[in-house]
Amino acid sequence: MGMYENTCFMDESQMIYDCALTLGCPSWLYESMMFVIIQWEVATEHHMTNAGRNRQAWLGQAACCMTHGAPEYLTKLAWWTLTPEQQVKANAVADEVIEHWDVIYEKGLWTCRKKGLAPMCSQHLA
């Protein structure tokens, strides 16, 4: 499944629930978002360098897609099941991951996976 695919063969209610658990648990969300930026290098660079994108939302949607196979519309529905406090915490987690990514990108280390230096990149992102 991808971020923009139909889920006609899935239990959408369960997927919304699973996404809400991920979005509502700061430590799990952080790990999921970090995994996205390490594994989805091209998509991450595309979305994180586009000033017109909502980077928080993209990271949350990508984390739910990678973790649960959820398309973006179910992630959006899951978002609205969170309490305002959970939403604030989730956005704070996304901001932390974005800050890490910005530092790595500005240092010119973002292409390190292509150069076989993924462990070094992971250290800088942690």
Mean pLDDT of 37-44: 90
DSSP structural state of residue 111? G
Query: Which DSSP symbol is given to 110?
Result: G
HSE, CB side, 13 Å, CA atoms: give it for residue 59.
28
pTM of the model: 0.81
CB atoms within 10 A of CB 76: 16
87 CB contacts (<8 Å, ≥6 apart)? 79
Domain boundaries, the chain: 12-125
Looking at residue 5, its pLDDT comes to 55
> What one-letter code names the amino acid at 121?
C
On the question of pLDDT at 1 being above 70, the answer is no
Using one digit for the tens of pLDDT, what is the confidence trace for 59-110? 999 999 999 999 999 999 999 999 999 999 999 999 999 999 998 888 877 6
